[in-house]
Amino acid sequence: MALIKLSSKLEQVLIYLLGGLGGSGINFARSHSRYLRIIVDSLLSSNDAISTNTINKYFDIISSDPQGVNVTTPSFICFPNAIQ
């Protein structure tokens, strides 16, 4: 299973499981890390919350790709070709 970790200053962990079918938790975490930080670390001042510096954040955010999605292996194939 492919994982991604957005590190923080403290050793507190939040595991984010992307809902829905076929969605990549890794791609979501990469492209929305700034917004995840604002939500997860909402006790920060507004200036810190919009910062892209992850050193001052409270939680490590861990997300993954479900089986068959993006970089998780082995990939899951329902049918051997598009016709079936």
**Given this model, what pLDDT does residue 49 score?**
47
**Given this model, what pLDDT does residue 53 score?**
56
**What does residue 23 show for φ and ψ, rounded to 5 degrees?**
-85, 140
User: Is the pTM for the entire model greater than 0.85?
Assistant: no
Q: How many CB atoms lie within 10 A of CB 59?
A: 20
Specify the residue for token string 């890794």.
26
State whether residue 14 is helix, strand or coil.
strand
Q: How many CB atoms lie within 10 A of CB 2?
A: 15
Q: Would you give per-residue pLDDT tens digits along the chain (84 residues)?
A: 788 888 877 777 878 777 566 788 888 888 888 888 777 776 555 555 455 554 556 778 888 888 778 877 776 667 777 675
Specify the residue for token string 């939680």.
59
**Given this model, what pLDDT does residue 56 score?**
56
